[in-house]
Amino acid sequence: MLDMRLYMAQRLSAMAMGPFVLVHIAVMIYAIQGGLSASEILSRTQGSVFWFLFYGLFVVAAGLHGAIGLRVIAHEMLGLKGWSLGAITWGFGIGVIYMGARAVMAVTGL
Amino acid sequence: MTAMRKITPSEDATGTTPVLRVSVWRGTAEGGAYEEFEVPQQDNQTILDVVSWIQQYADPTLTYRFACRVGMCGSCAMMVNGKPRWTCRTHVKKVTEGGALTIAPLRNLPVIKDLAADMDPFFDKWVKAGGHHHPSASRHDPMPVITSETPGRVEANAGIECINCSVCYASCDTVAGNPDYLGPAALQRAWTLYNDAKEADREAVLDRVSGAGGCHNCHSQGSCTLYCPNELDPLSAIAGLKRASAKRFFKGGR
Ligand code: SF4
Ligand code: SF4
Ligand code: FES
């Protein structure tokens, strides 16, 4: 169920997510220890193109990676194929990216 | 074998010979069930000896397959207590659990009858993965000299002792979940061809293993390498195919 392109998309999205996760956790710890309130954090992220790109790409990578992984599980464990397999792959991927995009837009105001 | 043939079922009923309790799967593709047999235990006895004893002394209709009895032909593999084994070289003592044996046809393949699995899907995938050699020269060309130390030759040599027994194929959970997956043996064969300097089109080998049922489906958990009776390492061969195809993807976008 994984051809070359899906395999590469999954590996590359995993590679991208590695640093995203680390930076995300580091910033969380830094922000909490500095005692920043939610509104103080938001005042720093609103309008920031950097955080928009950072979390925007993070969301796209997570959507891609999760959807391809779920596709494999759905095929191997549930025996889905063809139309239903495509529906679950695309549905999950688009769902994650849609929800993530809403969160990114709310946090950055862009 | 000779010593075993002297024993008849009546002897073990007297209690003089220790007895193995053996459950053997009987049936066809339509269905079947396990049947119990009592088989005299020997000091030196393989699973294939046990199956042959049943066929010779208890039920001549039992169907199974073997040829060489010395681990060369790859035709005798079965599931023994749930694990795939080459039965002609698997000693009963090493695999019995409390004097009991359960013997079934190989996993992941259709059953023909009793212990004989239909190997066609296994060999069809071998062909699909491009298992035959594509010559790069004719008999009129000079023979290229390739020493056994050449790195490609070392890689290829690691996989060429495959006896096509399908033990790895039966052990692979990815084959179980994804019937189109080419499986460890066919992919390992492709890897030996990819590393063969005399193979005419090595890029085509990568094309054949990069489709929807190709090497990228392997979960790298290594049951194949764990169970291969010849101690081959299909897991690493498949990792090699993944690496080679990824490298090519970055270079040429394929
Ligand atoms: S390592 Fe790959 S080929 Fe080997 S058993 Fe696991 S999934 Fe199958
Ligand atoms: S790789 Fe090993 S287990 Fe698989 S078919 Fe070849 S010899 Fe048998
Ligand atoms: S009978 Fe030939 S490998 Fe077992």
pLDDT, average across residues B32-57: 97
CATH of residue B179 = 1.10.1060.10
**Do B78 and B156 have their domain in common?**
no
Pick from B41, B132, B49: which is nearest to B87 by CA?
B49
What per-residue confidence (pLDDT) applies to B168? 98
pLDDT for residue A30: 87
Identify whether residues B244 and B211 lie together within a single domain. Answer: yes
Same domain as B182, residue B159? yes
The CATH number covering residue B18 comes to 3.10.20.30
Are B19 and B41 in contact by the 8 Å Cβ rule? The answer is yes
Whether residues B214 and B242 fall in one domain: yes
Token pair of B52 as six digits: 């042959």
pTM here? 0.89
B211–A contact, CB cutoff 8 A:
yes
Tell whether A6 is within 8 A of chain B (Cβ). Answer: yes
Decide if pLDDT at B42 tops 80: yes
pLDDT value at B129 more than 70: yes
CB contact at 8 A, A73 and A110: no
Do residue B146 and residue B184 come from a single domain? yes
Q: What is the ipTM of this complex?
A: 0.85
Which residue lies with its CA nearest to atom 1 of ligand 3?
A: B69
Q: Give the model's pLDDT for residue A1.
A: 74
At residue B60 the predicted structure's pLDDT band, cuts being 50, 70 and 90, is very high
* Statement to judge: residues B109 and B211 lie in one domain: no
Residue B132 shares a structural domain with residue B105: no
Phi, psi of B67 (to 5 degrees): -145, -65
Which stretches of chain A drop beneath a pLDDT of 50?
none
**Residues of the domain holding B95:** 9-117
Instruction: Work out the mean pLDDT of chain B and round it to a whole number.
Output: 92
- Cβ(B228) – ligand 2 distance below 6 Å: yes
CA distance A76 to chain B (A): 4
A62 phi and psi angles, rounded to 5 deg:
-65, -40
Q: Where residue B5 falls among pLDDT bands split at 50, 70, 90?
A: very low
Which chain A residues in 11-40 lie under 8 Å from chain B, judged by CB atoms? 11
pLDDT at B209: 96
pLDDT tens-digit map of B150-187: 999 999 999 999 999 999 999 999 999 999 999 999 99
Quick one: B78 and B127 in the same domain?
A: no
Question: CA B248, CA B250: separation in Å to the nearest integer?
Answer: 5
Do residues B128 and B108 both lie within one domain?
no
Q: Please state the domain extents for chain A.
A: 46-110
Residue B15 has pLDDT above 60, yes or no: no
Ligand 1 neighbours (beta carbon < 6 A): B 171-172, 174, 184, 218-224, 234-235, 238
Q: Does B146 touch chain A (CB under 8 A)?
A: no
Q: Are residues B14 and B112 in the same domain?
A: yes
B246 contacts in chain A (CB < 8 Å): 8, 11
Give Cβ neighbours of residue B245 (< 8 Å, ≥ 6 apart).
A4, B206, B209, B210, B215, B216
Interatomic CA distance for residues B84 and B208, integer angstroms = 27
Residue B6 pLDDT > 60:
no
